[in-house]
Amino acid sequence: MSASASHPIGIFDSGVGGLTVLRAVQKLLPSESLIYLGDTARVPYGDKSPETVTRYALEDARFLEAHNVKAIVVACNTATAHALETLRDVASVPVLGVVEPGVKAAVAQTKSKKIAVLGTRGTIRSETYQRAILARLPDAKVLALECPLFVPLVEERFQEHPAARLIAQSYIQPILEAQCDTVILGCTHYPILQPLLNDLLGPYIHIVDAAAACAQALKRLLNDSHLLCQSLEAPAPSYYVTDAPEHFQRLASGILSSDMHGVQQVSLLEAALT
């Protein structure tokens, strides 16, 4: 079936963190219907091999395609880093990742050309952000930092706990030393820590939220493909997870600041066989 403007947008992530992207998309494109898939049975993706993450991402995308989405947003930075090209090769609809929009915003923002990227181990080691920045700004200095403790801190709702401050202080010290003026939050969970990071980095370091940049890129993509929805009101998003819907629901309600109900558990294997 070919994509039509009335079809939903599919968004997937390894778990709950991609809701920061859903939130940004909802804010910018309130008329759009959204389907969200969180692969909670296999989260985290951040420390898995590129091959494994690519296999998971293909299954996630197939699930969304089976729901007739008109575009797929890879909300997960790690999945974008490892699998975006493969997904684009096989998907029948446009596929958008979070890396390029975040990089574009950072490159437009920096004056000193010293840009820091925070991400999972997988994202940072893939060097996807580093390559994307240097492709746009060849004389940039890129400081790429793995922050593996940030995801569990957010998952445990420790964003305001003193432990989060201590850990963040240690992670961002090299950014202050290198005098970067722009920081990309290259992971779905990190926008939840943005108030803390803003506080620690101070007013002269600009934080790029890849989720917001991604929503802008999605709007452009849909507009250019004549796929922007024209209706005035969108139905509530549909949420699917591969495990533990109650846990997802609890965390999600915190991220979206509203109660969430009706999260459905699905098996991606069964979806692939039908």
Positions marked active-site: 76, 187
Cα–Cα dist 49/47, whole Å: 7
Cα–Cα dist 210/75, whole Å: 9
Residue 245, amino acid: P
Q: What does each C-alpha distance from 2 to 19, 55, 92, 233 come to in angstroms?
A: 27, 25, 8, 23
Q: What's the closest the beta carbon of residue 215 comes to ligand DGL, in angstroms? A: 15
Q: What's the closest the beta carbon of residue 130 comes to ligand DGL, in angstroms? A: 15
Q: What's the closest the beta carbon of residue 13 comes to ligand DGL, in angstroms? A: 5
Contact 74, 96 (CB under 8 A): yes
Count of alpha carbons within 13 angstroms of residue 98, beta-carbon side: 34
Q: What number of residues does the chain have?
A: 274
| Six token digits for residue 229 | 């929805």
Q: What's the closest the beta carbon of residue 151 comes to ligand DGL, in angstroms? A: 5
Among candidate residues 24, 36, 15, the one with its CA nearest the CA of residue 191: 24
Q: What's the closest the beta carbon of residue 150 comes to ligand DGL, in angstroms? A: 9
Count the Cβ atoms, other than its own, within 10 Å of residue 162.
8
Cα–Cα dist 99/208, whole Å: 11
Sheet holding 141-146: strands in order across? 141-146, 114-119, 182-186, 206-209
Q: What's the closest the beta carbon of residue 46 comes to ligand DGL, in angstroms? A: 3
The DSSP result for 77-128, as a single string, is HHHHHHHHHHHHHH-SS-EEESHHHHHHHHHHH-SS-EEEEEE-HHHHHHTH
With respect to ligand DGL, which residue has the nearer C-beta, 77 or 182? 77
Interface residues with ligand DGL (CB under 6 A) are 13-15, 17, 43-46, 76-78, 120, 123, 151, 187-189
